[in-house]
C-alpha cells in the first residue's frame, strides 16, 4: 500500500457519490469556482475562454471533524468529491511522516494500513483533480485518543505459514463478547484475499468467534492472506480492539474422505483421484456415528481415550489409541482399532468413531492435514451444527445468514479484490 492512492474517474470508472459519515462533525469543503458563463448564441462557454473545460472538481473531508480530538486510532478518512478525474489522499503526523493507506473502491473513504498511534495529531489532505487539470485541495487536522484501558484481544486459530486442508475455515476469536450492533463494523475490517480468488464470507458463530469459509471447498494450493484491522476499533461499552492481525497461510492438496454406512467403506480422494478404499466400522446402534460433513480438527499420533466419567456404564473405558484424528467435539475420531478388524467393512461396533486397521490408519494419518473434510452418510444420527467445525454441514444459503453484513454475490471480476467484510 502507498501513502497516496489515485482513484480514476475516467470512462469505465464510477463517479464519486456522497460519502458516509464515519464520525459526526463539521464539514470541510473546498471548491474551485468557475467564472460566470456567457452566451453567444452557439452555446455556453467558460469566461476564461476554454470552451472544452468541464465542471470544476470539488473535495470535502467529512470525518474526522476538523480539529477533532479523542478520535479512535482505527479511524478512516471520510471524503466526498465531485467531477474529479483523479483523487489522492495523504495523511501525515505532526513530524511530517506519511501514513500508508488506501482509498476505497468507491472513493468515499481512505483507510490507514494499520492503526494510528494513540494521542497523536494527524493532518489529512484530499486532492481532487478535474478535467481541466486544476486540483481542489482540502486539509483537516485531528488528534487520536489516549490509549484506552479496556482492550479486546483478537486471535487467529491459524498461524503464518500453516498448511491446511480444503475444508479449513478461518477462525478468529475475541477476548470479549462483541455486541451485535458492533459486529458489522468489526466485520468490515476483516478481509480475506485468496489466490486464486474464490467467493467466501464471514459467519458469526457467537459474539466471541467468527469464521470464514469459501462457497465451495478451497482450491488446492490456494494462498491465503487475511487481515483483521481492529486495532483501536470501538467494540462497545468503552472497549477497543487491542491490535491489528495479519496471517498468511496455504491450502495443501485436496484430500477428501467419504464414508458410506451401507458399504462400511471409506473412499479417499486426493486431488480428485481415488487413492484408497478402506474398510471401516462405525458406531453401533446404541452409539451411532454422526452423518454429515465434518473436518479434521486435530491429529494425535498417540493418545488415551478415557471415558470413565460417561453416564452410561457401558461407555466407560480407558484405552490407548494410535493415529487419532478428531472430527467432532463430542468425541468422534478416525483412528486405528486393531481390535475391530474382523468387523471392519462388515458391521458397526464402535462407540461412534470411524475404526480402521492400524495399517490403514497410519497411511491415512500421513495423507491428511487439519481442515481436510470427511462426509459420513447413512447412519442413525444426524450431525449437529456446532459439534466440531461444521461449516460444510450447512448450505451456502444457511451460512451467509450468519454474516453481520448483508450478503451480495460478487461479479466474477470482483473476486480478485474482495470488499472489506467479505
Concerning whether 353 is annotated as a catalytic residue, the answer is yes
How deeply is 178 buried, as exposed, middle or buried, from its count of CB atoms within 10 A (0-12, 13-18, 19+)? Answer: buried
How deeply is 208 buried, as exposed, middle or buried, from its count of CB atoms within 10 A (0-12, 13-18, 19+)? Answer: middle
Among the listed residues 13, 203, 335, 351, the single catalytic one is 335
The phi and psi torsions of 289 (rounded to 5 degrees) equal -75, 155
Distance CA 119, CA 138 (A): 23
How deeply is 126 buried, as exposed, middle or buried, from its count of CB atoms within 10 A (0-12, 13-18, 19+)? Answer: buried
Concerning whether 203 is annotated as a catalytic residue, the answer is no
161, 189, 193: which is closest to 174 by C-alpha?
Answer: 189
| Cβ–Cβ under 8 Å, residues 31 and 136 | yes
How deeply is 87 buried, as exposed, middle or buried, from its count of CB atoms within 10 A (0-12, 13-18, 19+)? Answer: buried
| Cβ–Cβ under 8 Å, residues 245 and 155 | yes
In a 3-state reduction of DSSP, which class is residue 303? Answer: strand
- The owner of cell 495423507 is 367
Longest CA–CA separation in the chain, Å: 101
- What are the cell numbers at 168? 479449513
Query: Which DSSP letter does residue 184 get?
Result: H
- What are the cell numbers at 167? 475444508
* Sheet of strand 101-103: strand arrangement: 28-31, 58-63, 77-82, 109-112, 101-103
Helix (H) or strand (E) holding 358: helix 358-367
Among the listed residues 37, 203, 351, 353, the single catalytic one is 353
How wide is the angle at C-alpha 60 spanned by C-alphas 56 and 63, nearest 5°? 170
In a 3-state reduction of DSSP, which class is residue 122? Answer: strand
| Cβ–Cβ under 8 Å, residues 364 and 278 | yes
Q: Active-site residues: which are they? A: 335, 353
Amino acid at each position: 500500500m502507498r501513502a497516496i492512492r489515485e482513484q480514476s474517474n475516467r470512462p469505465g470508472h464510477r463517479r464519486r457519490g456522497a460519502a458516509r459519515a464515519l464520525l459526526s462533525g463539521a464539514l470541510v469543503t473546498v471548491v474551485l469556482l468557475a467564472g460566470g458563463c456567457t452566451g453567444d448564441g452557439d452555446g455556453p462557454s467558460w469566461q476564461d475562454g476554454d470552451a472544452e473545460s468541464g465542471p470544476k472538481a470539488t473535495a470535502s473531508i467529512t470525518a474526522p471533524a476538523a480539529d477533532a480530538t479523542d478520535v479512535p486510532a482505527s479511524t478512516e478518512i471520510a471524503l466526498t468529491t465531485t467531477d474529479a478525474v483523479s483523487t489522492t489522499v495523504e495523511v501525515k503526523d505532526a513530524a511530517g511522516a506519511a501514513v500508508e493507506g488506501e482509498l476505497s473502491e468507491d472513493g468515499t473513504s481512505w483507510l490507514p494500513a494499520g492503526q494510528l498511534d494513540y494521542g497523536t495529531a494527524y493532518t489529512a489532505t484530499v486532492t481532487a483533480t478535474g478535467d481541466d487539470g486544476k486540483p481542489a485541495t482540502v486539509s483537516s487536522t485531528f488528534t487520536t485518543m489516549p490509549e484506552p484501558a479496556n482492550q479486546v484481544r483478537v486471535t487467529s486459530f491459524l498461524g503464518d505459514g500453516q498448511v491446511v486442508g480444503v475444508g479449513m475455515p478461518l477462525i478468529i476469536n475475541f477476548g470479549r463478547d462483541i455486541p451485535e450492533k458492533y459486529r458489522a463494523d468489526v466485520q468490515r475490517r476483516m478481509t480475506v484475499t485468496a489466490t486464486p480468488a474464490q467467493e467466501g464470507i464471514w459467519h458469526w458463530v457467537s459474539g466471541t468467534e467468527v469464521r470464514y469459509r469459501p462457497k465451495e471447498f478451497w482450491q488446492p494450493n490456494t494462498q491465503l492472506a487475511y487481515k483483521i484491522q481492529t486495532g483501536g476499533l470501538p467494540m462497545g461499552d468503552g472497549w477497543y480492539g487491542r491490535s491489528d492481525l495479519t496471517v498468511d497461510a496455504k491450502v495443501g492438496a485436496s484430500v477428501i474422505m467419504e464414508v458410506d454406512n451401507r458399504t462400511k467403506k471409506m473412499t479417499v480422494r486426493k486431488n480428485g483421484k481415488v487413492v484408497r478404499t478402506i474398510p471401516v466400522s462405525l458406531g453401533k446402534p446404541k452409539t451411532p456415528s454422526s452423518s454429515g460433513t465434518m473436518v479434521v480438527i486435530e491429529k494425535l499420533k498417540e493418545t488415551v481415550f478415557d471415558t470413565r466419567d460417561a453416564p452410561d456404564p457401558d461407555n466407560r473405558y480407558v484405552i490407548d489409541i494410535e493415529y487419532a484424528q478428531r472430527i467432532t467435539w463430542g468425541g468422534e475420531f478416525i483412528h486405528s482399532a486393531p481390535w475391530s478388524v474382523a468387523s471392519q467393512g462388515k458391521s458397526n461396533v464402535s462407540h461412534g468413531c470411524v475404526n480402521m486397521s492400524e495399517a490403514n490408519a497410519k497411511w491415512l494419518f500421513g495423507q491428511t492435514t487439519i481442515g481436510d473434510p470427511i462426509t459420513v452418510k447413512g447412519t442413525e444420527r444426524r450431525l449437529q451444527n456446532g459439534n466440531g467445525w461444521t461449516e460444510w454441514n450447512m448450505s451456502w444459503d444457511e451460512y451467509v445468514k450468519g454474516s453481520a453484513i448483508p450478503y451480495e454475490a460478487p461479479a466474477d471480476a470482483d473476486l480478485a479484490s474482495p470488499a472489506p467484510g467479505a
